[in-house]
């Protein structure tokens, strides 16, 4: 008996017994395989239903591994407006060009209430070659008006009137200016400081005093070229009003009322001495500037030098010594001195009964 299974006679197992033993061993093999790999249970079970010759004690094959394809992710950088680095470029700031004020423009100073008028940029004719023009330095303090030359000036502002006693007193009260050297005038014992003459031109002031006032007022003395252009315009006229003859309605000069020996009895301007500033509107210049002929001489900032005029040759240096230019002709002189091209000069410390000033500025 093997494993409790009876043998047939002669000790040989019969066919039925062998078949039974084979089934038992096969079942044991299936159970062992299932214990090792539960995933193959279905396959083994299927195989058990169909007997086949297989080595039951061999190791079961490993299950086939299925690889899943996972696409590789590639990061692509996309440039957007927010991620584009800025390009360094220069920012062009447009220059604002202020239009030039037209002829006739005016403004009022906040410091001394002086009215200023605008003289536009451009060329003008400076000097005179008329037969009566001064051509040499001989014979007095007048200076040659030749050669005639064309001068270009940028636009500028100039006082419409000569600086008055009342305006000059403001600078004195401010502690900047000193009072005029004398308080009288040619025919008046009280002049500077008398309210009755507050609107008359200040006199008895030297070049330094005139300069100090203009700087206090935020302006400066005009150059000789600025003065002449404001008086004559661009057309080389003889007088501020044109080429018409001098008359008592146009300027204050030495007429029948004048106390000097050169008094001209054929004219009457109404005054024996200085007159109120702006008293002769028919004598205004092309730009509306008043009293450019007559009333008082006027200081300029310029050193006296021969023509042609050149602002860069040192004549506009305010810090050097030398004679300074007067322009305009006074109440105490006659016809010849009223012409707009006349040049006069003196040392800067000089002061006189017929000498005053006005101011100018570029801005």
305-329 in b/e form (b: 16+ CB < 10 A) is: bebebeeeeebbeeeeeebbbbbbb
> Which parts of the chain have pLDDT scores under 70?
1-97
How far, in Å, CA of 95 to CA of 344, rounded?
A: 43
- In a domain, residue 65? The reply is no
Question: How far is Cα 98 from Cα 75, in angstroms, rounded to an integer?
Answer: 57
Q: Is 161 inside a domain boundary?
A: yes
- Residues 110, 42 share a domain: no
Give dist(CA 171, CA 164) in Å, integer.
11
Supply the pLDDT for residue 28: 62
| Cβ–Cβ < 8 Å for 355, 181 | no
Residue-level pLDDT at 98: 76
Question: What is the pTM for the complete model shown?
Answer: 0.74
In this structure, the answer to whether residues 168 and 29 fall within a common structural domain is no
Q: Which residues of 3-38 are buried (b: 16+ CB within 10 A; e: fewer)?
A: eeeeeeeeeeeeeeeeeeeeeeebeebbeebbeeee
DSSP string, 12-27: PPPHHHHHHHHHHHHH
> What are residue 157's DSSP bridge partners?
118, 361
pLDDT, position 46: 37
Is position 81 within any domain? no
What pLDDT is attached to residue 99? 86
37/108 same-domain check: no
* Predicted local confidence at residue 77, as pLDDT: 47
Which neighbouring-strand residues pair with 345? Answer: 325
* Residue 64 lies inside a defined structural domain of this protein: no
- Domain at 223, CATH number: 3.90.1580.10
Domain assignment present for residue 118? The answer is yes
Which residue range forms the structural domain that includes residue 31? Answer: 9-49
Q: Residue 4 falls within a domain, yes or no?
A: no
340: tokens are 């707009």
My answer on whether 234 and 117 are in the same domain is yes
Paired tokens of 256: 């029948």
Q: Tell me the C-alpha to C-alpha distance, in Å, between residue 274 and each of 66, 134, 207, 330, 359.
A: 123, 26, 19, 9, 19
350 three-state secondary structure: coil
Of the three residues 34, 49, 64, the one that is the final residue of a domain is 49
Give the per-residue pLDDT at 363. Answer: 87
Is there a single domain that holds both residue 187 and residue 302?
yes
Eight-class DSSP state of 108: E
Q: Which of 49, 65, 81 is where one domain is finished? A: 49
Residue 173 lies in a domain: yes
Residues 42 and 111 in one domain: no
Same domain, 37 and 116: no
Same domain, 340 and 210: yes
The predicted pLDDT at position 94 comes to 61
Does one domain contain both 40 and 161?
no
In a domain, 88, yes or no: no
Tell whether 259 and 196 lie within a shared domain: yes
Instruction: Let me know: does 153 contact 287? Beta carbons within 8 Å.
Output: no
In a shared domain, residues 17 and 135: no
**pLDDT at position 14:** 55
Residues 189 and 113 in one domain: yes
Q: For position 261, what pLDDT does the model report?
A: 96
Number of compact structural domains in the chain: 2
Helices (H), the chain: 15-36, 41-49, 165-173, 207-216, 224-232
Task: With H, G, I as helix, E, B as strand and everything else as coil, classify residue 361.
Answer: strand
């Amino acid at each position: 008996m093997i494993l409790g299974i009876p043998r047939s006679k002669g000790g040989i197992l019969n066919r039925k017994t062998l078949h039974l033993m084979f089934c038992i061993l096969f079942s044991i093999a299936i159970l062992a395989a299932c214990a090792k790999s539960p995933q193959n249970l279905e396959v083994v079970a299927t195989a058990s239903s169909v007997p086949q010759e297989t080595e039951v004690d061999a190791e079961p094959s490993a299950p086939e591994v299925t690889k899943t394809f996972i696409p590789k992710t590639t990061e692509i950088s996309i440039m957007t407006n927010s991620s584009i680095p800025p390009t360094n470029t220069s920012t062009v700031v447009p220059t604002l060009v202020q239009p030039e004020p037209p002829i006739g423009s005016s403004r009022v100073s906040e410091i001394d209430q002086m009215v200023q008028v605008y003289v536009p940029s451009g060329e003008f004719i400076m000097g005179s070659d008329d037969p009566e023009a001064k051509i040499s330095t001989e014979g007095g303090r007048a200076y040659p008006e030749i050669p005639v030359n064309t001068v270009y000036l940028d636009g500028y502002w100039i006082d419409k009137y000569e600086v008055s006693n009342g305006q000059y007193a403001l600078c004195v009260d401010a502690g900047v200016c000193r009072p005029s050297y004398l308080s009288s005038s040619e025919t008046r014992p009280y002049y500077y400081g008398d309210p009755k003459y507050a609107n008359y031109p200040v006199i008895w002031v030297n070049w330094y005093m005139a300069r100090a006032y203009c700087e206090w007022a935020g302006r400066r003395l005009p150059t000789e070229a600025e003065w002449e252009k404001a008086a004559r315009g661009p057309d080389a006229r003889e007088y501020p009003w044109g080429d018409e003859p001098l008359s008592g309605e146009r300027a204050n000069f030495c007429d029948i009322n004048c106390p000097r020996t050169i008094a001209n009895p054929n004219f009457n301007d109404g005054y024996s001495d200085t007159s109120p500033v702006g008293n002769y509107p028919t004598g205004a210049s092309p730009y509306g500037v008043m009293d450019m002929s007559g009333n008082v001489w006027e200081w300029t900032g310029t050193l006296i030098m021969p023509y042609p005029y050149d602002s860069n040759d040192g004549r506009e240096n305010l810090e050097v010594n030398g004679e300074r230019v007067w322009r305009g002709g006074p109440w105490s002189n006659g016809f010849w001195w009223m012409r707009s091209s006349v040049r006069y000069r003196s040392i800067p410390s000089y002061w006189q009964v017929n000498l005053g000033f006005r101011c100018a500025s570029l801005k």
